[in-house]
Amino acid sequence: HDKLVAANAIGNLLIMCEYDDRQVQCAATRALANFAANRARHEQLLEAGCLKIMIAVLNVCDADVNMFSALFFSILCENESLHAAVCSAHVIQPLFHFVVAADTNSKLKLKLETVRYAVLALANLASSAYA
């Protein structure tokens, strides 16, 4: 990770999250979820502006992009020290959108994993006084 961070990988991946190409967005959100798996990178992810962009990516109409962005938040929300920042970024409603969409006749095509990751992120936030 150190060499990737030194090469501004996080910043470049965030730029790729905003591409119109869904395959590029999918690969970028997957890579950011992998970065989130390393708790030592959480502050760097926040400092780079990940919350705003990854919340926007939650609204992309692509099952894989949705799954990896929900995975990103499920991992990040395991870190209670980030709950205040995550909640302040207004991620709760987009995550609930996945849960509600899975239970209705929504046109949004979701993978079951997306709903599970969204519920996991919400459950982790529910354990906090900041949510």
Pair 65, 110: CB distance under 8 Å: no
| Higher per-residue pLDDT: 117 or 107 | 117
| Higher per-residue pLDDT: 2 or 66 | 66
DSSP state at residue 113 = H
Closest by alpha carbon to 20, among 61, 52, 79, 48? 61
Pair 114, 98: CB distance under 8 Å: yes
What is the torsion angle, in degrees rounded to the nearest 10, for the CA atoms of residue 74, residue 76, residue 80 and residue 82?
-140
Q: How far is CA 37 from CA 33, 45, 95, in A?
A: 6, 11, 19
34-89 pLDDT, tens digit per residue, is: 999 999 999 999 999 999 999 999 988 899 999 999 999 999 999 999 999 999 99
- Rounded Cα–Cα distance for residues 23 and 40 (Å): 27
Q: How far is CA 67 from CA 2, 43, 72, 131, in A?
A: 26, 22, 9, 22
| Higher per-residue pLDDT: 76 or 4 | 76
| pTM for the structure as a whole | 0.90
Q: Any idea which of 4-13, 47-56, 91-100 has the lowest mean pLDDT?
A: 4-13
Averaged pLDDT of the chain:
90
Q: How far apart are the first and last CA of the chain?
A: 30
